[in-house]
Amino acid sequence: MKTIVCLFLLLFATPAYAIDWSLSKSEKQAELAFQLLNVADLALTDRIVNQGGYEMNPLLPIDDHTTDLEMVGITVVIGSLHYLATVACPVEYRPYWQWISVGFKGLAVGNGLTVVRW
């Protein structure tokens, strides 16, 4: 049985390539802008939910029973996935990806600012 598993693994073995994890200065600035907006979105969402509101993005599992720790976890996952997608994106498309995602995140923060009660 071990021989069959080893042959199966060798059949599908492929060479591994290292990903270039480096970002240029402007890419780092765009990533920082997204991450800062991501944290601002977390703070606004937390305040809105604590005031009896709700998360308007249907893809996020946030409701009035969601704890602060769960919201922080969701924010960390979103930030991590954005960074990994940025690194995986071809260099010539990174500025488009980053600034479009910063724009949408900025719209979410702007919308949250209109909903939250200070």
* pTM across the whole model: 0.79
The CA distances from residue 58 to 2, 61, 85, in Å, are 46, 7, 21
Q: Is 63 helix (H, G, I), strand (E, B) or coil?
A: coil
Residue 97 near residue 25 (C-beta atoms within 8 A): no
pLDDT digits (tens, 9 = 90+) for 70-106: 999 999 999 999 999 999 999 999 999 999 999 999 9
Q: What is the pLDDT of residues 13-59, one digit of tens each?
A: 656 556 667 899 999 999 999 999 999 999 999 898 888 888 887 77
Please state the domain extents for the chain.
22-115
Q: Which residue has the tokens 């308007």?
A: 56
Band (pLDDT 50/70/90 cuts) for residue 64 is: confident
Half-sphere exposure of 7 (CA within 13 A, CB side): 4
Please spell the DSSP secondary structure of 24-63, one letter per residue. Answer: -HHHHHHHHHHHHHHHHHHHHHHHHHHTT---S-TTS---
